[in-house]
Structure 1
Amino acid sequence: MDSAPTVAVHVLVFPWPRQGLINPMLHLATALLDAGVHVTFLHTEHNLSRIASARAPPPRLRLLSIPDGLPDDHPRHYMELMESMCTTGSAAYRALLLSSLLPANDVPPVTCVVADGTMPFATDIAEDLGIPALAFCTFSACSSLAFMSMPKVFELGENPFPADDPVCGVSGMEGILRRRDLPRGPGLCSTEQAGGGDLMILKIGEGVAHSCKARALIINTAASMERPALAHIASRTRDVFAVGPLHASSRSAASASLWREDDGCMAWLDGHGDRCVVYVSLGSIAVISYEQLTEFLSGLAATGYAFLLVLRPGMVQTASSALLRETVAVAQAGKAKIVEWAPQLDVLRHRAVGCFLTHAGWNSTLECAVEGVPMVCWPFFLDQQTNSRLVGAVWRTGLDMKDVCDRAVVEKMVKEAMVSGQIKAAAQAMAEQLRLDIADGGSSSSELGRLVRFIRELSVKSGPEPRIT
């Protein structure tokens, strides 16, 4: 009996070029490497030149880059970056894929693409060239459902807005979501001002809906966290793989940071007792006013707890840099440690951290959940609104502080998260379940194994000579 030809499986992983969306796909790339798959990770030239790795990348991971079409000093706001990626970026991507269809320098041809689901062109171009393409969802399953449902939400007049009106337009999440919990663009009332709906949210929603047409959809979540939402998504896709939390499942997890991490904060944490420090980080994109900063600092100081605060360069809007420096100096003279960027996984794992005040981005939410640390969520935009609702009302592993910036509320919620036995128990129970999920035989581990087999089968069917057009 003739055996099938041996095909070297080579996956090209293509993330959306933002800090928070690069890392989960890098964790997937690492997991594929662990499974013996060849992997190329595709950055933009702008990001590749900036990356300062917290750990050395896996030696077998091949890094390539394409231009995003914007000048180096461009702020790269979402809509402008998407437009440029869909033109300059997509042309460069097609050319790179064409050159990757044949072996070169001991590198086998690309046999499969995994691309961020918000970039429809990435899967479409791959399939057009005869390369099977899978979509990767960097949002939670619940947030993905919300994004997919935004056209219906706007049609029903349930536009995202800071109000407690219940939402009926997201199937499977009736009775959970309020208007304030829906994905929204930057600016509190932007969805009310945009007429037919927030263009950024609708654009992302189009991408998420399109990703359901890919060979399969990969979601960085666990079935134990979002089983009902995953069932709804499965009914809309050809196949879905819930493989998260990926950062905790790989034996050699890599990470990439566009900012240099301040490891000195770990020694500062070492000097504190167990569960007595509040860790504060609002992610890689959010910008706050000077007034919001002072409210936060005042509320945190009033708790009496020491706190570690991440304050990125340019994160605070103020006309006086001297005033900002003075405010930071006063805080650090008390019980605060302020850094520009922190090694977040190490911080959350530290015995001294008792609470995480966070923007509730999905990466931060997962990282915190795995460590069993209670959360206080202060979301800004996009999926953060939905994630914070899950934390506060569904999982009850923390508190939802959205649409409020008041020192008294900050003090009250941080104190409650630090001392509540109920929240701590829920957070620990979720952490224990997630450890079971990623262990051998667990749901996420099994799904990851099924995904690797699925990719191998696709590669055999499409190889050994992909179609060149």
Structure 2
Amino acid sequence: MAESSSHVLIFPFPVQGHVKCMLQLAELLCLSGIPFLTFLNSDHNHRRLLLDSHFLASFPGFRFASLPDGLPPDHPRSGIRIFELFDSISAVTKPLFRDMLLCGRLNCDGRPPVNCIIADGIFMSFAIDVAEEVGIPLVSFRTFSASCFWTFLCIPRLIQAGDLPIRGDDDDMGRAVSSVPGMESFLRFCDLPSFCRAADPSDRALQIVATETHLTTRAHALILNTFDELEGSALSHIRRHIPNLYAVGPLGAFLHAKLPESSRRSSTSLWQEDRTCMAWLDARPPKSVVYVSFGSITVLTRDQLLEFWYGLVNSGKPFLWVDRPNSVAGEQQVPKELAAATRERGYVVGWAPQEEVLAHPAIGGFLTHSGWNSTLESLVAGVPMICWPYFGDQQMNSRFVGEVWKVGVDMKDCCDRVIVEKMIRDVMEVRREEVEKSAMQMAETARKAVAGGGSSRASLDRLVEDIKLMTGRRNATQ
């Protein structure tokens, strides 16, 4: 049968957020009966990834492979230098990826040839060129929200309408944007993805994002980590350009639904998770703790660090803070009063098991950078958010959290200790009942989407069947 020889290659852009959700997709496909799956990572991340023997033992048809990304080991691969990773992958990884597929290196040990590629849709469009050359169907996976993808697809329309580049003073950033269909009632210029803040429409970052998004329309299909009930309007608009669309999120909730309660999840982290924070949370009262994490790419200035820290301490709330290695630029000299307050009611770790943390009953709010993974994980856990977007799609995500889904507050473009304290108190005290109710309703909607008969479950079933059909068609032509 065709499905017995299905061999899927998954190829993420090599940063934590992208690797995490594409590993979740890999696990979900394995659980759904895809017999062979290869996860292609960069050498750099492959060495850092906590390769879980439990994962490998559970799915004997799964394996890791890697290629160099062309950057030295000490390159930060974060902040504004992320575009250096894009350039290096295009120059170094692309030809090696092509050679890997042509030489048959991935179909050793009795494995069938790769007959479907699922590649990251941002910064990785070269995979479409290679897939077309070697005759393997490619499905694009976008790790952003559907709403952000739709906005990226509208960049030419925004430029043509004169909305980009953004002109004017700070007050101008609050004006409504009318060139993104479906979002006219709430989208402001300050809510557009950070790339859209370029002063020149020929800005390289803006053009890269626009071009990469347009090239996605050449893929066989598109996968998004979202669900119809969350982003139905954006998904409807995208389907007019890419009819073969699978909304299969939230992936984390899907895996929880698929796996028995006693089954241990595999690690998807590039950093060692400090699980001592779970015991610390066990000793805190319900809904009392603010969880703080700015993700895997955000780099704070020392001044920003201090504003957040003072705001947290002044709020009087216990807090669990993820202080990722190299997440703050420059020297970190901690004022004595902050150090003392943190010892009293704070806990700091280098990296945390985030989904478990958010599901813990002690968590009452999430101070977040509004990355899409973190946003979905907070929605699934029913935890209200205090949003401080940093980069990329995060500006849009925070607007949806505060204005559309009403599951938190948006602190966009502001880093002031007084505002930090106020917004924490708003979520944890003043508006607690309101935002908690919305958050719990959204969590229930997400669970229904991945359950039997749900919209995401139906999309996953279609995706698996489509992969099997690709296998049959490819076998018939060989």
Taking structure 2 as the reference length, what is the TM-score of the superposition? 0.91
Whole-Å separation in 2 of the counterparts to 1:408 and 1:334 = 21
| 2:318 is the alignment partner of 1:306 | yes
Secondary structure, counterpart of 1:308 in structure 2: strand
Whole-Å separation in 2 of the counterparts to 1:115 and 1:21 = 11
Instruction: Report the counterpart of residue 191 of structure 1 in structure 2.
Output: 198
Aligned pairs (5 A) from 1:18-97: 18-37=15-34, 38-53=36-51, 56-59=54-57, 60=59, 61-76=62-77, 77-97=81-101
Evaluate the alpha carbon distance shift between residue 114 and residue 328 of structure 1 in structure 2; reply closer, same or farther with a 3 A threshold. farther
Partner AA of 1:84 in structure 2: S
Could you give the per-residue CA deviations for residues 15-41 of structure 1, whole angstroms, max 9, x where no partner exists?
A: 011101111111111011012211100
Query: Which stretch shows the higher mean deviation, 218-227 or 406-415?
Result: 406-415
Whole-Å separation in 2 of the counterparts to 1:244 and 1:311 = 28
Whole-Å separation in 1 of the counterparts to 2:109 and 2:51 = 26
Evaluate the alpha carbon distance shift between residue 213 and residue 325 of structure 1 in structure 2; reply closer, same or farther with a 3 A threshold. farther
Instruction: Report the counterpart of residue 262 of structure 2 in structure 1.
Output: none
Whole-Å separation in 1 of the counterparts to 2:212 and 2:416 = 36
Whole-Å separation in 2 of the counterparts to 1:413 and 1:264 = 28
Could you give the per-residue CA deviations for residues 27-66 of structure 1, whole angstroms, max 9, x where no partner exists?
A: 1110110122111000010110111257843433210001
Query: Which stretch shows the higher mean deviation, 119-128 or 438-447?
Result: 119-128
| 2:110 is the alignment partner of 1:112 | no
Kindly indicate whether the alpha-carbon contact (under 8 Å) linking 2:100 and 2:106 is maintained by their aligned counterparts in 1.
no
Give the drift of 1:412: 1.1
Kindly indicate whether the alpha-carbon contact (under 8 Å) linking 2:6 and 2:114 is maintained by their aligned counterparts in 1.
yes
Instruction: Report the counterpart of residue 11 of structure 2 in structure 1.
Output: 14
Query: Which stretch shows the higher mean deviation, 54-63 or 236-245?
Result: 54-63
Instruction: Report the counterpart of residue 157 of structure 2 in structure 1.
Output: 152
Aligned pairs (5 A) from 1:68-467: 68-76=69-77, 77-100=81-104, 103-118=107-122, 119-155=124-160, 156-159=162-165, 163-185=173-195, 191-192=198-199, 195-250=200-255, 251-252=258-259, 254-318=266-330, 320-321=331-332, 323-324=333-334, 329-419=339-429, 420-463=432-475, 466=478
Whole-Å separation in 1 of the counterparts to 2:202 and 2:193 = 12
The runs of 5 or more residues in structure 2 that have no matched partner are 260-264
Partner AA of 1:388 in structure 2: S
Give the drift of 1:160: 5.5
Could you give the per-residue CA deviations for residues 259-280 of structure 1, whole angstroms, max 9, x where no partner exists?
A: 1111111110001010000000
Give the drift of 1:201: 3.1
Evaluate the alpha carbon distance shift between residue 102 and residue 128 of structure 1 in structure 2; reply closer, same or farther with a 3 A threshold. same
Whole-Å separation in 2 of the counterparts to 1:450 and 1:171 = 28
| Root mean square deviation, CA, Å | 2.0
Query: Which stretch shows the higher mean deviation, 32-41 or 56-65?
Result: 56-65
Whole-Å separation in 1 of the counterparts to 2:214 and 2:388 = 27
Give the drift of 1:217: 0.4
Partner AA of 2:157 in structure 1: K
Kindly indicate whether the alpha-carbon contact (under 8 Å) linking 2:365 and 2:428 is maintained by their aligned counterparts in 1.
yes
Evaluate the alpha carbon distance shift between residue 151 and residue 56 of structure 1 in structure 2; reply closer, same or farther with a 3 A threshold. farther
Kindly indicate whether the alpha-carbon contact (under 8 Å) linking 1:398 and 1:423 is maintained by their aligned counterparts in 2.
yes
Kindly indicate whether the alpha-carbon contact (under 8 Å) linking 2:139 and 2:219 is maintained by their aligned counterparts in 1.
yes
Taking structure 1 as the reference length, what is the TM-score of the superposition? 0.93
Whole-Å separation in 2 of the counterparts to 1:31 and 1:380 = 30
Query: Which stretch shows the higher mean deviation, 142-151 or 438-447?
Result: 142-151
Give the drift of 1:328: 6.3
Evaluate the alpha carbon distance shift between residue 6 and residue 81 of structure 1 in structure 2; reply closer, same or farther with a 3 A threshold. closer
Whole-Å separation in 2 of the counterparts to 1:105 and 1:261 = 33
Kindly indicate whether the alpha-carbon contact (under 8 Å) linking 2:9 and 2:114 is maintained by their aligned counterparts in 1.
yes
Give the drift of 1:110: 0.7
Give the drift of 1:168: 1.7
Kindly indicate whether the alpha-carbon contact (under 8 Å) linking 1:328 and 1:338 is maintained by their aligned counterparts in 2.
no
Evaluate the alpha carbon distance shift between residue 54 and residue 294 of structure 1 in structure 2; reply closer, same or farther with a 3 A threshold. farther
Evaluate the alpha carbon distance shift between residue 159 and residue 55 of structure 1 in structure 2; reply closer, same or farther with a 3 A threshold. farther
Kindly indicate whether the alpha-carbon contact (under 8 Å) linking 1:215 and 1:239 is maintained by their aligned counterparts in 2.
yes
Whole-Å separation in 1 of the counterparts to 2:465 and 2:153 = 28
Partner AA of 1:39 in structure 2: L
Give the drift of 1:202: 2.6
Give the drift of 1:104: 2.0
Whole-Å separation in 2 of the counterparts to 1:404 and 1:15 = 32
Whole-Å separation in 2 of the counterparts to 1:403 and 1:341 = 25
Evaluate the alpha carbon distance shift between residue 293 and residue 131 of structure 1 in structure 2; reply closer, same or farther with a 3 A threshold. same
Secondary structure, counterpart of 2:118 in structure 1: strand
Evaluate the alpha carbon distance shift between residue 114 and residue 461 of structure 1 in structure 2; reply closer, same or farther with a 3 A threshold. same
Partner AA of 1:78 in structure 2: I
Secondary structure, counterpart of 2:246 in structure 1: strand
Kindly indicate whether the alpha-carbon contact (under 8 Å) linking 2:50 and 2:267 is maintained by their aligned counterparts in 1.
no
Partner AA of 2:132 in structure 1: E
Tell me the percent identity. Answer: 43
Give the drift of 1:181: 0.4
The runs of 5 or more residues in structure 1 that have no matched partner are none
Give the drift of 1:453: 0.4
Whole-Å separation in 1 of the counterparts to 2:105 and 2:112 = 8
Give the drift of 1:100: 3.4
Evaluate the alpha carbon distance shift between residue 167 and residue 465 of structure 1 in structure 2; reply closer, same or farther with a 3 A threshold. same
Could you give the per-residue CA deviations for residues 366-425 of structure 1, whole angstroms, max 9, x where no partner exists?
A: 000001000010001110000000000000011111011111111111111113211110
Kindly indicate whether the alpha-carbon contact (under 8 Å) linking 2:3 and 2:471 is maintained by their aligned counterparts in 1.
no
Evaluate the alpha carbon distance shift between residue 179 and residue 55 of structure 1 in structure 2; reply closer, same or farther with a 3 A threshold. farther
Secondary structure, counterpart of 1:317 in structure 2: coil
Secondary structure, counterpart of 1:385 in structure 2: helix
Whole-Å separation in 1 of the counterparts to 2:106 and 2:380 = 41
Evaluate the alpha carbon distance shift between residue 456 and residue 383 of structure 1 in structure 2; reply closer, same or farther with a 3 A threshold. same
Kindly indicate whether the alpha-carbon contact (under 8 Å) linking 1:159 and 1:179 is maintained by their aligned counterparts in 2.
no
Evaluate the alpha carbon distance shift between residue 102 and residue 220 of structure 1 in structure 2; reply closer, same or farther with a 3 A threshold. closer
